[in-house]
Amino acid sequence: MNVLCIQWIRKKTMKKIRLDIIGMSYSQSQSGAYALILGEVNGKRRLPIIIGGFEAQAIAIELEKMKPSRPLTHDLFKNFADNYQVTVKEVVIDKFQDGIFYAKLYCENDNIISEIDSRTSDAVALAIRFKCPIYTNEEILSKAGILIDDKPEKTKTSSKAKTKTDISFEKFSLKELDDQLKKSIEKEEYEKASLIRDEINKRKNK
């Protein structure tokens, strides 16, 4: 058993939190970008991640079970992996630094586990195709997650956010930011909520 396989088994025993794809909405703060919303399974926290248009398309196509006339890049990766008996066992979002999420693919071939760095958007697109679970950890959810209330949540796959998010929060106090965060979550404006969350964390870390 190689070192990576041992490390993977150890990580399997560590506390991991499984995530589901809740939906996507068009980003009002970055042209051509989307907000991918991942939700904590059996929990109330959401993880908003800004992704590019191509990756959003790759995720949406597979979620909607649409078949493009020619394979997209992620489909090609899946076909290539299948041809050489490589399976993606799980995706782990294991790092959040300077507003950027980092992920790893854990792949298996001939009972050997390999760890591959990946952009989070690509990792999610591949997780859907390989039908494998997506995980993160408590540290990331505590730092970057957003807590929602008990009201039923509507899944958004391509609708535009109603509130523009290209505003400055510098003039607001921490209490005002907390109030705005709660209102954004109630309205399911997760992209705006993530920006407010980042501003709050930045001030608390000073």
Query: What are the chain's domains?
Result: 3-161 (3.10.690.10)
Enumerate residue ranges in the chain where pLDDT < 50. Answer: 152-166
**What pLDDT shows up at residue 161?**
35
As a whole number of angstroms, the distance between CA 113 and CA 102 comes to 19
**What pLDDT shows up at residue 165?**
41
How many helices and strands (H and E) does the chain possess?
Answer: 7, 8
Q: What is the DSSP letter of 151?
A: S
User: What number of CA atoms fall less than 13 Å from residue 34's CA on the CB side?
Assistant: 20
**What pLDDT shows up at residue 3?**
53
CB 24 within 8 A of CB 59: yes
CB 113 within 8 A of CB 4: yes
Does the global pTM surpass 0.75?
Answer: no
As a whole number of angstroms, the distance between CA 180 and CA 196 comes to 8
Q: Residue 78 is which amino acid?
A: K
List Cβ<8 Å contacts ≥24 apart for 169-175. 169/195, 169/196, 169/199, 170/199, 174/200, 174/203, 174/204
